[in-house]
Amino acid sequence: MSSDVDAVAPDRFRRVLGMFATGVVAVAGLDGAGLPVGLAVNSFTSVSLRPPLVSFCVAETSSSWPRIRQAGRIGVSILADRQLPVCDRLAASGPDKFHGTEWHLSPGGAPLVTGAIGWLECSLRDEYWAGDHVIALCGVHHMSVGEPDSPLLFHRGRYGTFHPGPLPAAR
């Protein structure tokens, strides 16, 4: 007889959760030298409309998150499918993940990926330790819809996109 822990082995858990398609965002802040620091996240979600809150999860081993956390404002760029190279750079280890990526500042000074399909400017409200990740809860200050492209999606360990079908008839 197997225990509940055996039934939720990490590799199996990852495979099952991989069946749930997620969007991909770039989370970024300015470091002490005024340079952008970022990471790719697929655990981004809305939390509340009033007040406007979003959250995302970051691995406790991230070397970028401690630097982003210190920024006064955090930029969240919703990546388009054509921005997979940006995602790959932000997901890799290394000090200069924004090398070769066009970016600009939000109204409050957070770095945003140019050409994203939407963006939010946030500030960190709280963090919650959960297993081997940190859940970051952020308040939203500014936001905008960007380019009208298809989103970058993550599903079954691969990146892809979404092509919407026709809207259903009104009922």
Span 21-49, pLDDT tens digits: 999 999 999 999 999 999 999 999 999 99
Q: What is the pTM of this model?
A: 0.91
Residue 131 lies in a domain: yes
Q: What is the CATH number of the domain that holds 128?
A: 2.30.110.10
pLDDT tens string 79-115: 999 999 999 999 998 888 999 999 999 999 999 999 9
Alpha helices in the chain (DSSP H): 4-7, 10-17, 65-69, 84-91
- Domain of 110 in residue numbering reads as 11-155
Residue 3 lies in a domain: no
Residue 160 lies in a domain: no
